[in-house]
Structure 1
Amino acid sequence: MITARPVLELHRLDGFSLWPAAFPEEPYVLLPLGAGLTPAEVGAVVACLADAHAEASEAGGEPLAGTQAAPVPSPDRDPTGSFLRGLLAGGEDLHLAGGVRITDTTTGAVVDPGCCHGLQEWGTWREFAAGSDSCSVWFGHSPTPGARLVGDIVRLTADTDSAASPVIELPLPELHRLLDDVEHRLHAFLALVRDWAAREVPAHAAPPYAALAAALVPPDPENPWSARVRRR
Structure 2
Amino acid sequence: MIMMQAVIEVPMLDGEPAPPWPVEPSPPGSWLVLHAGCTDEQTGLFVAALANRIDVMPPGGRDEVVDALLAEELLIATGGLRVSDARVGTSVMPGCCSGLEDWRDWAQPLTGGSPWLGHDPGPEVEAIGDALRVWQDGGPNRHRGRWAGHYVDLPRRTLPQLLTGVQRDLVGFLDSLSGWATRCGLGQRGRALVRTVDQNFAITAPLDLSTD
The reply to whether residue 172 of structure 1 matches residue 156 of structure 2 is yes
> Following superposition of structure 1 onto structure 2, how do residues 6-45 of structure 1 map, counting pairs within 5 Å?
6-14=6-14, 16=18, 18-24=20-26, 26-45=27-46
Q: Which has the higher helix share?
A: 1
C-alpha spacing 1:219/1:109, structure 2 compared with 1 (3 Å):
closer
CA contact (8 A) 1:4 1:179 kept: yes
Aligned to 2:186: 202
> Following superposition of structure 1 onto structure 2, how do residues 129-140 of structure 1 map, counting pairs within 5 Å?
130-132=110-112, 134-135=113-114, 137-140=115-118
CA contact (8 A) 1:8 1:32 kept: yes
Aligned-residue sequence identity (percent) comes to 31
Q: In structure 2, how many angstroms separate the alpha carbons of the residues matched to 1:99 and 1:17?
A: 23
C-alpha spacing 1:165/1:44, structure 2 compared with 1 (3 Å):
same
Aligned to 2:97: 116
Q: In structure 1, how many angstroms separate the alpha carbons of the residues matched to 2:122 and 2:90?
A: 15
C-alpha spacing 1:141/1:86, structure 2 compared with 1 (3 Å):
farther
Aligned to 1:51: 52
Which residue, out of 157, 173, 184, partners 2:135?
Answer: 157
Q: In structure 1, how many angstroms separate the alpha carbons of the residues matched to 2:19 and 2:53?
A: 17
Letter in 2 for 1:38: T
Query: What displacement does 1:104 show?
Result: 0.9
C-alpha spacing 1:147/1:79, structure 2 compared with 1 (3 Å):
same
- Give me the TM-score of the superposition, normalised by structure 1: 0.78
Letter in 1 for 2:47: V
For structure 1, list consecutive stretches of 5 or more residues without a partner in the other structure: 58-73, 228-232
CA deviation string 1:18-55 (max 9, x = no partner): 2221131x22221111012111111111112112222x
- Give me the TM-score of the superposition, normalised by structure 2: 0.84
Aligned to 1:65: none
> Following superposition of structure 1 onto structure 2, how do residues 56-135 of structure 1 map, counting pairs within 5 Å?
75-76=58-59, 79-91=61-73, 93-128=74-109, 130-132=110-112, 134-135=113-114
Which residue, out of 124, 127, 141, partners 1:146?
Answer: 124
- What SS is found at the alignment partner of 2:120? coil
Q: How many residues align?
A: 200
Q: In structure 1, how many angstroms separate the alpha carbons of the residues matched to 2:93 and 2:135?
A: 10
Aligned to 1:63: none
Q: In structure 1, how many angstroms separate the alpha carbons of the residues matched to 2:167 and 2:8?
A: 14
CA contact (8 A) 2:133 2:154 kept: yes
CA contact (8 A) 1:7 1:99 kept: yes
C-alpha spacing 1:49/1:23, structure 2 compared with 1 (3 Å):
farther
Q: In structure 2, how many angstroms separate the alpha carbons of the residues matched to 1:10 and 1:79?
A: 21
For structure 2, list consecutive stretches of 5 or more residues without a partner in the other structure: 143-147
Q: In structure 2, how many angstroms separate the alpha carbons of the residues matched to 1:218 and 1:108?
A: 28
Cα-Cα RMSD: 2.3
C-alpha spacing 1:184/1:218, structure 2 compared with 1 (3 Å):
closer
Q: In structure 1, how many angstroms separate the alpha carbons of the residues matched to 2:35 and 2:89?
A: 21
Letter in 2 for 1:75: P
Letter in 1 for 2:194: Y
CA contact (8 A) 1:219 1:226 kept: no
